[in-house]
Amino acid sequence: MAKFGKRTTAARAAFDGKHNVSVAEAASLVKDNAKAKFDESIEIAMTLGVDPRHADQMVRGTVSLPHGTGKTVRVAVFARGDKADEAKAAGADIVGAEDLMETVQGGTIDFDRCIATPDMMAVVGRLGKVLGPRNLMPNPRVGTVTMDVKEAVEAAKGGQVQFKAEKAGVVHAGIGKASFSAQQIEENMKAFVDAVGKAKPTGAKGTYMKKIAVSSTMGPGVSIDVASATGND
């Protein structure tokens, strides 16, 4: 515990006085202070000026990060026949129909992304209470309800990130690993911020992007200058 305490103290000292820094400085700070014995994830959190309880203020979408997430994504596909074969060929980890529904209902959710062909939504719809809270419910707006299962599977495997505003208008996502270069983290961060910016809903009033912070799994967070991140400085 003492060793962890020293590491945390050192990280906090490195971050002391660092507020509203540039994206490049934030990327370097977070990378350099990720000292855990495992490859820490780099995570971004954005506080938006929206109330997602209102349909016209919901923020959601996808972005393909230029350097991927560094995470191995397990993909499940609800499909039958040729589309099931297409999903398997594209690299899907789990493919099924009613059998997969029963597996999920039984409490086994061994995947990070869920894709379905439109004809399977009557089956998948029964899993709303299970998949919904985990942000795994297939949705045509983010390309996970589609006949082009090959493209959807390859996008998920290739580092595509889904985002959705939660309560209090917070959007968060993993955007890389501590083993990435600072430049890769910076470029992934900018791509994510840009995608959230483009997803601004019609009902958003006032300041849209209020706060942006980035951190590693075990490290403290650092706030980023919003104008710097959005290119409006």
Confidence (pLDDT) at 2: 39
Q: Where among 158, 193, 211 does a domain terminate?
A: 158
CATH classification at residue 34: 3.30.190.20
**How far is C-alpha 13 from the chain's CA centre?**
29
Q: Where among 116, 132, 158 does a domain terminate?
A: 158
Q: Quick one: tokens of 232?
A: 């409006």
Collect the ranges in the chain with pLDDT lower than 50: 1-4, 11, 233
Confidence (pLDDT) at 1: 37
Mean residue pLDDT of the chain comes to 90
Task: Provide the Cα torsion 66, 67, 72, 78; round to 10°.
Answer: 10
Q: Quick one: tokens of 103?
A: 């597996």
Beta strands 75-78; 113-116: pairing state: parallel
Q: Assess if residue 8 is contained within a domain.
A: no
Confidence (pLDDT) at 16: 53
Statement to judge: residues 132 and 148 lie in one domain: yes
Can you give the residue range of the structural domain that contains 136? 75-158
Statement to judge: residues 64 and 166 lie in one domain: yes
Statement to judge: residues 119 and 175 lie in one domain: no
Confidence (pLDDT) at 135: 87
Q: Where among 158, 173, 195 does a domain terminate?
A: 158
